[in-house]
Amino acid sequence: MAAVPTQGASGGATGGASRAAFGKRGTLALVGFAVIAFVAFLYLTGQGGLSGSANNGRAHAAGTGLNGFVGLTRMLEADDVSVIRSRDRGALDTPGLLVLTPPSEVDGEELSGIVDRRRTIGPTMIIAPKWFAMPAQERAAKRGWVRLTGASGDWEIEIAGRTIEVAGETDRKSAARWEGLGREGTMPSEQTLSMVGSDSAPGAIAPLVTDAQGNILAGYLADDGSYLDGDLYLDPDSDDATAVYGVMLVAEPDLVNNWGLADRTRAAAARELVAIARQGTEESVRFDLTLNGLGGSRNLLTLAFEPPFLAATLTLLLALAIAMWRAFNRFGPSLRPAPDIAPGKSQLVANGAQVIGRSGRWHLLRDPYANLVATRAVRRLGLRETPGQSAEETLHERGEHDLANAITALRNARGRAETLRAARGLRASERTTQQ
């Protein structure tokens, strides 16, 4: 008969090892996914990526409505221009072209301070506010689409001590014409047209795009340098003749917003306006979202993913990856501390055997084990014991001479080694009898 594995007190088989719920590869995949998800969560939290969609119907670089500028960003990206939609106030002082799309309620002093501070850092392009808008309620309307309800009216900004006004001409009967940069066409709106107002500082803005009456729709701050030639203005008040970058003002946002880019000619003009505003700089074009209420404050998570701290963050992540890899590829299985008293019948028998072994009372095992095996064999063979006759004699009569002799040998054994040898022989004879 085949041996049956014994069961411990807990009911589990001790003859086989229990399998883990997950293998090494499965566990590694779960841990790796958790680490990647956690790092992504930290990165998105630091960069403001968990603050919701910026497509809220306002006039900024993430807006997909008529008044938004997402079309301008995508057009530049299609031209292989690096574009950044920035929610970081600290990035306002970054080199490269900064595009500001302030709302009509922006703090004028704050905006002027940003522009003046950037004069020695990089060029700035300001797109003036114009439209009041509300979310479109039509069934087919998509997220971010708007319905224009009117123009915001006059607006002004102070740049380098010069006040520049943006005024609106309303109640027009037809779309105004525009011309400049070797192109011309009509504006999309028949309601209002925004232009540099007559109350602005005389000669403050050099024209790039005008309407049919010569009113400036887009231009640059008149300095000693020329935007068209890519020259820089040298600050006469600086001892080291520091180069000063220019400022471009787009008074009519319909030249560059999503509504305006629906026309191929206006889109080509918008592309050239951005190219002129960059003044030959090769850095990314950064569209600011902070003035539109979509900024995020700098914190430790933000700094962790920005140079020079990015190197330390990557080093830490690499060290964690190496430690995890070593933990999954160490030599041999981990050591588990064994309990002081293991459960189960097998352990109970082992403990009893150790007590007998330590005491040296081997003779106490011979007769009980011999009687147990003899009785079990007689019952299994279906024999009937005759009164006054031993089990060994009964087995002899049945022809089980090997088993009977093994029982007798165990009873007559002396010493530890002989007792163990006789017990093993008896166990082997019993198995032969079972078969």
Q: For every residue of 39-77, which 3-state class applies, written as one string?
A: HHHHHHHHHCCCCCCCCCCCCCCCCCCCCCCHHHHHHHH
CA–CA distance, 378 with 394 (Å, rounded to integer): 8
Burial classification of residue 202, based on how many CB atoms lie within 10 Å of its CB (0-12 exposed, 13-18 middle, 19 or more buried)? exposed
Separation between Cα atoms, residue 308 and residue 305, nearest integer Å: 9
pLDDT of residue 299: 58
Share of the chain above pLDDT 70, in %: 80
Lowest mean pLDDT among 10-14, 66-70, 157-161: 10-14
**∠ CA 225-228-233, rounded to 5°:** 15
Per-residue DSSP letter, 341? S
Whole-model pTM: value is: 0.60
Closest CA to 130 of 98, 93, 103, 109: 103
Query: How far is residue 232's CA from residue 247's CA, in Å, rounded to a whole number?
Result: 11
Task: Give the confidence band of 258 by pLDDT, cuts at 50, 70, 90.
Answer: very high
CA angle 220, 221, 226 (to 5 degrees): 70
- With tokens 């040296």, the residue in question is 360
CA–CA separation, 4 and 15 (whole Å): 9
**Which range has the top average pLDDT, 23-32, 121-130, 145-154, 223-232?**
121-130
pLDDT of 1 > 60? The answer is: no
Say which DSSP state 86 is in: E
Amino acid at 64: T
Structure tokens given for 174: 């037809």
Copy the structure tokens of residue 359: 């005491």
- Rounded Cα–Cα distance for residues 76 and 249 (Å): 19
More confident residue, 155 or 333: 155
Do β-strands 183-186 and 192-196 pair in parallel, antiparallel, or remain unpaired? unpaired
pLDDT in tens, 336-349: 777 666 677 777 77
Q: Give dist(CA 59, CA 57) in Å, integer.
A: 7
Q: Which two tokens stand for residue 25?
A: 């590869």
Split at pLDDT 50, 70, 90, the class of 35 is: confident
Residue 123 above 90 pLDDT? yes
Q: DSSP per residue over 315-329, as a string?
A: HHHHHHHHHHHHHHS
Q: 364-419, pLDDT tens digit by residue? A: 778 888 888 888 888 887 777 777 677 778 788 777 888 888 888 888 888 888 88
3-state secondary structure (DSSP) of residue 271? helix
Residue type, 412: N
CA atoms of 151 and 148, how far apart (whole Å) = 8
Do the Cβ atoms of 230 and 280 come closer than 8 Å?
yes
Tokens representing 125 are 């392009």
- CA atoms of 216 and 199, how far apart (whole Å): 13
Kindly compute the dihedral angle of the four CA atoms of residues 219, 223, 226, 227, in this order, to the nearest 10 degrees. Answer: -40
Question: Quick one: pLDDT at residue 236?
Answer: 56
- Supply the pLDDT for residue 5: 39
Please, are residues 274 and 97 in contact by the beta-carbon 8 Å criterion?
A: yes
Cα distance between residue 60 and residue 102, in whole Å? 8
Question: What would the two tokens of residue 301 be?
Answer: 């998570």
Before 308, cis peptide (omega within 30)? Answer: yes
| Residue 16 predicted with pLDDT over 50 | no
Give the pair of three-digit tokens for residue 397.
């009569």
